[in-house]
Amino acid sequence: MVAGGSGRISEGVGPGARQLTSHAGRPVGAWASFLIQGGISPTAEITPFRRFRSSHVACIHVSIHPYVRTFLVQAKTDDGPRMVVHLSAPNRDGTGGLRQGGRNPGVRRNDGASKNAHLKALEGAGERLQLLKADLLDYNSVASAVAGCEGVFHVASPVPSGRSSNPEVEVIAPAVTGTTNVLKACYEAKVRRVVVVSSVAAVLSNPNWPKGKVFDEDSWSDEEYCRKNEDWYFLSKTLAEREAFAYAAKTGLDVVTILPALVIGPLMQSTVNSSSKILINYLKGDHETVENRLRNLVDVRDVADALLLAYEKSEASGRYICSSPPIKVSDMINILKSLYPSYPYPKNFVEVEDNFAYSSEKLQKLGWTFRPIDETLRDSVESYRAFGILN
């Protein structure tokens, strides 16, 4: 999702910055969708991303992965057409400060709940922003949100915070059903293209992949292997992505998928997402000894750029792995030490054999570039410091 008119992406970090922030504190499985109704000027400046030329764009995401969505969504709303944002999240307890309203059936008006205050802080939001709530597990609700859109981003899936007691219901069904509802609604609405965020989790668990070979888009995680190892998130991402392409083959809907590696980068609010915790643990020296494995990382801002590329480039098709070059944990910590020498980093490193790497060559041929790891690490730490996370 991006803003229309002459909106410019904001890169501010910290409590005073004007940007859309995440809702990582919501329960696992809470879904959300964002819809912009209105034009996006062919001359609109959207930095650091490229110009966005479509007129109606929706971003549908789950709150467990708002991290990517934050950088896809953030924009100033100074001029241009009215923007409507659909926040869809099944409310477990029936609360949440929402009341009935809005023009679309199946959605409810969201007027000023404190958790959405950052949206209302956007410049021009008072005149151009509406907050609505819908349920992605309810097809009619999804169809109302997608109606009138030319493009849709479907971002992420429920991530279990621990071992799931009922993975089929808590992890797999929401991922697959949510994806199916979005795709069906997009087909009925004659959406031009749907960009689905999958994960390298849908690539990695493949026991038949040649040992030592860099993983590329031809590799799919083996479903039975995932079940055997109880890798429910891996399984959910694999099933959801396969469903997306199966539906595309059946209907002709244009579907492209982006498969990010471990996503890190600057935070835009004080709630810490699970991927950032890995880096924070290194900074805090939670363990004196750590495994010196290869880390396949990608900056959250580069993921957002990849999503826009996948939507805008007419030649985009199929799957795209999104990962910067792998780096050893020891090398990553050495970079951090050179930038911030005072933190109690791990002192000992144990070599491990299960190292693997991914190829983003296909995405790079589409025009994608990635930030240097030094920049990502520095900006990450600066955001942690700004929010007092490392205190």
Which residues participate in catalysis according to the annotation? 237
- 30 exposed, middle or buried (CB, 10 Å; 0-12, 13-18, 19+)? buried
- Write out the H or E segment, with its range, that includes residue 73: helix 66-73
Task: Go through the chain and tell me how many residues it has.
Answer: 391
Structure tokens at 317: 């098709």
Q: Which residue has the tokens 């953030």?
A: 74
Contacts of 336 (CB under 8 A, 6+ apart): 282, 283, 343, 345, 377, 381
Amino acid at 379: D
Report yes or no: 181 and 142 within 8 Å, Cβ to Cβ. yes
Residue 275, both tokens: 């991927």
CA dist 193 and 190 (Å) reads 9
Coil/strand/helix, residue 246: helix
In one-letter notation, the amino acid at residue 239 is L
Q: Write out the E strands in the chain.
A: 31-36, 57-62, 83-86, 108-109, 129-133, 151-155, 193-197, 255-260, 262-264, 289-291, 294-295, 297-299, 318-322, 327-328, 348-350
Whether 67 contacts 273, CB under 8 Å: yes
φ, ψ (nearest 5 deg) of residue 294: -75, 130
Distance between CA atoms of 48 and 371, rounded to whole angstroms? 12
Give the helix, strand, coil percentages of the chain, each rounded to 5.
35, 15, 50
Compute CA distances 240 → 7, 149, 317, 324, 331, whole Å: 33, 22, 17, 24, 35
Give the angle subtended at the CA of 306 by the CAs of 160 and 83, to the nearest 5°: 85
